[in-house]
Amino acid sequence: MGGAYQLRVAATFLLIAGIASIAAAFDPSPLQDFCVAIDDPKLGVFVNGKFCKDPMQAKADDFTFSGLDMAGNTSNAVGSNVTLVNVDRLKGLNTLGISLARIDYAPYGGLNPPHTHPRASEILVVVKGSLYVGFVTSNPPKLFTKTLNVGDVFVFPIGLIHFQLNVANTNAIAFAGLSSQNPGTITIANAVFGSDPAINPDVLTKAFQVDKNVVDYLQKQFWPEN
């Protein structure tokens, strides 16, 4: 009787362990827009992320980046500049799931335009000036906004459209932490009206319910990626 009970307990434990292992198994998060499979490894050199240096060859410079003390050039159409420190600029970030950005905003009206990070949530802190920030949820869309001052922090959930606007008459500066070594950025206006090749105007005319002349005009504009 005792042996049969122990077997049932052991079988139950193994079943639970098996279910837990299946639940814990998952595909690795993408670190780029796509990674097309190939049958012959000789035909490809890309991986989901970066190749790793031999740990014995690593040095302190692999984990160091300098330059975030320098203001970015905001003399552009949107009046802002993003200095992103991701794995392409700081190799030691590889596999760590984080990156950092400095955002500079021109006086009143400097805008980090509506955009998304497909692979990262973002936490932003204002270190100079005042920013009107916000994000929009998935459908049905709901807008969350706040005016931030020095020392204030705001979170933008992964994949949601968000923005920051300088509402002060001085330059503004913010720093943002992102939960991916390569968060990616999709600037909405640029993606919709500035893609290469261009989206068929018929698609945009119907989607935005505007005249085709409006779409033609917008597609001819220069859309900064920021």
Distances (CA, A) of 105 to 70, 98, 131: 13, 23, 9
112 is in an annotated binding site: yes
Residue whose pair of structure tokens reads 């030691």 in the numeric block? 92
Measured distance CA(154)–CA(157) in Å, rounded: 10
122 is in an annotated binding site: yes
Strand order in the sheet with 161-166: 143-148, 131-136, 161-166, 111-116, 186-187
Measured distance CA(184)–CA(177) in Å, rounded: 13
Residue 187 parent element (H or E): strand 186-187
Measured distance CA(128)–CA(147) in Å, rounded: 13
Tokens, residue 26: 């998952």
162 is in an annotated binding site: yes
Q: Which long-range contacts (CB under 8 A, 24 or more apart) does 214-218 make?
A: 218/193
Measured distance CA(193)–CA(225) in Å, rounded: 12
> What residues are designated binding site for oxalate?
112, 117, 122
> What residues are designated binding site?
112, 115, 117, 122, 162
> What residues are designated binding site for Mn(2+)?
115, 117, 122, 162
